[in-house]
Amino acid sequence: MKPILKIDNLRKIYHTPKEEILALDNFSYTLQEGEFVSIVGPSGCGKSTILSILSDLMKPSDGTIELQEGKKIGYMLQQDCLFDFRTILDNCLLGLEIKKELTEENKAYVIHLLETYGLKDFMYHYPENLSGGMRQRVV
Ligand SMILES: Nc1ncnc2c1ncn2[C@@H]1O[C@H](COP(=O)(O)OP(=O)(O)O)[C@@H](O)[C@H]1O
Ligand SMILES: [Mg+2]
């Protein structure tokens, strides 16, 4: 069966004014349907670099990624990056606001999603009033 994700010889070099940092070299992995994978390693070994490349936040220096048609990749950041001065609902609407796609219909869908994730009662609260797990669900 065709794998969900095929990563071949991924390489990433970060360029800073002082030096070049080889963060990833020759990283390959094939993910099959139903697999549950953890990437484990010491701090600085390149875990976040892999995830940033897979979610298209960053281009690799070399290598290829083939993703099964119709699939999308996202990941939960360690820091939730919610704006403390906006309510939970307003944090959730920010992307739509920026893209000028904030319609009544889209807003209703966002509220529906907040309900699905058990956050509707908190939509007019500010991030500081939520637990770490709740904040991550907002993201
Ligand atoms: N934006 C960046 N600029 C320069 N070097 C970076 C940058 N991000 C990560 N690195 C370096 O790349 C290596 C891998 O980092 P990272 O992927 O964040 O590791 P991990 O998530 O496993 O802790 C580290 O040596 C780190 O210092
Ligand atoms: Mg990391």
CA dist 106 and 43 (Å) reads 39
pLDDT at 75: 84
Question: Are 49 and 102 found together in one domain?
Answer: no
Question: Are 55 and 92 found together in one domain?
Answer: no
Residue whose CA is closest, atom 24 of ligand 1?
44
Q: What mean pLDDT, rounded, does the chain reach? A: 95
pLDDT at 74 over 90: no
Residue 80 inside a domain? The answer is no
Residue 81 inside a domain? The answer is no
Residue 77 inside a domain? The answer is no
Question: Are 51 and 93 found together in one domain?
Answer: no
12 closest CA partner among 43, 57, 42: 57
For 46-84, b where at least 16 C-beta lie within 10 A, e where not — what string?
bbbbbbbbbeeeeebbebeeebeeeeeeeeeeeebebee
Q: Which among 18, 38, 40, 48 is the best mutation to test ligand 1's pocket, defined by most ligand atoms within 8 Å of the CB?
A: 48
pLDDT at 1: 79
Q: Residue 45: which domain range? A: 5-67
Average pLDDT over residues 9-15: 98
Residue 79 inside a domain? The answer is no
pLDDT at 76: 82
Cα–Cα distances in angstroms (integers) from residue 127 to residues 46, 111, 124, 130, 133, in the given order: 30, 16, 10, 5, 11
Atom of ligand 1 nearest to the CA of 45: 22
Residue 48 inside a domain? The answer is yes
Question: Are 13 and 62 found together in one domain?
Answer: yes
Average pLDDT over residues 23-35: 96
Question: Are 97 and 53 found together in one domain?
Answer: no
Q: For the segment 81-100, what is each residue's pLDDT rounded down to a tens digit? A: 999 999 999 999 999 999 99
